[in-house]
Amino acid sequence: MKIDSVEFFYAAMPEVTLAADGSQDALLVRVTAGGYVGWGECEASPLVSIAAFVTPRSHGVCQPVADSVLGETLDSPADIARIAALVERNSMDLLQAAHTFSGIEIAMWDLLGHRFDEPVWKLLGYERSAPKVPYASMLFGASPAETLEHVKAATIAGFRAVKVGWGGFGESTPERDADHLVAAREALGDDGLLLVDAGQIFVTDLDAAAARIPALAAARATWLEEPFLPDAYRVHDQLAARSQGVGIAGGEGAHTVHMATNLIDYGGVSFVQIDTGRIGGIGHAKAVADYAAAKGVTYVNHTFTTHLALSASLQPYAGLADHRICEYPVEPSALARDITRSALELDSNGEISAPDAPGLGLEVALERLGPYLRTVDISVDGTTLYASGNSAGRTATVDA
């Protein structure tokens, strides 16, 4: 099969706020080849990601992602890896190429899954999809009382694990943060997993991050996530040495395999969290999962958007039965909820698994996207490089 087309669908909520909520917009990707269709999702600025696909070349190793994808053969997972290498070579780090290609790569896996009538995790070599313990991923409340209320609601909904993050954590005093942690632990109960996301707030300030460790330890937090910039490996390792048993987690900011493995090798992390929509797709995430398992580091998915992205993020470690924790976007926007016809629901044990159905196992509800779609036109010197379609679905299409 040859890749016939790559189509983008840039959707956004009517109002995009400053809240650290990545579900407020989305960039869906539809790939067609040999009469088959696959869907993926990029986790980055949609407009910039589209531009990276169509931008005029700057020179030999700053070429648009389209040049490495359209018309290429897609018959097997080996072809996906080959195309990924083309993108890396032809675009290097001079574009937002990894983020753009992530959605395309995910769609390629979905497409092959439909062609071979197999779930993606089977194409990756796993024999079964092991159940995961999802954590309800949410923001800290405006007050400790609000944090308690939100966490309590998650436990009532059946979650045994909760992650709270951002929402001012690290911006005020350690005492203020401690109050929120006490509230979260109270709501979660003695047995639940409590996870905390600092959202890179400490940049590289080791002492500021370490000042929160006593309260995190007292609340029995399993991890402190992204305390620093994603490639600040040394200071991650230094904090891990002072963490009093609180694991250090990170990796969502990795947009290459090496960024993730460096965090494992030099950052002292106990948990590596990979976003398939950022690192370059499912294949790159699987490489990190394999490396983490060999190094005794727990692999965790990262996603805070749609259930399409959630399914994609589960595939790389679906068969790793000992790597049990998984992020679950519990308070997504209306847009994120509308994108797929069904969702990955918690079972009677409060667990989820990567679907057994072909591909990613979820169907995109294209007809629901109308109210959210953005019209985009990109032109240079009067020549249109990209234009959203004018059909009923306003399909954003790149001419091959």
Examine the pLDDT at 121 and tell me if it is beyond 90.
yes
Examine the pLDDT at 284 and tell me if it is beyond 70.
yes
- Sorting pLDDT into bands at 50, 70 and 90, what band is 396? very low
Which runs of consecutive H residues, i.e. helices, occur in the chain?
A: 46-54, 66-69, 77-91, 97-116, 120-123, 144-156, 174-188, 206-210, 213-218, 233-240, 257-266, 276-279, 282-295, 307-314, 334-338
Each residue's pLDDT tens digit, 343-383: 999 999 999 999 999 999 999 999 999 999 999 999 999 99
| Stated pTM of the model | 0.94
Q: Is the CB of residue 32 less than 8 Å from the CB of residue 39?
A: no
What mean pLDDT is predicted for residues 99-125? 98
The alpha carbon of residue 276 and the mean position of all alpha carbons in its chain are separated, in whole angstroms, by 5
3-state secondary structure of 263: helix
Examine the pLDDT at 169 and tell me if it is beyond 70.
yes
Each residue's pLDDT tens digit, 224-274: 999 999 999 999 999 999 999 999 999 999 999 999 999 999 999 999 999
For residue 249 the two structure tokens come to 């987690």
Quick one: pLDDT at residue 392?
A: 26
The full set of domains in the chain, from first to last, is: 3-119+362-397 (3.30.390.10), 123-338 (3.20.20.120)
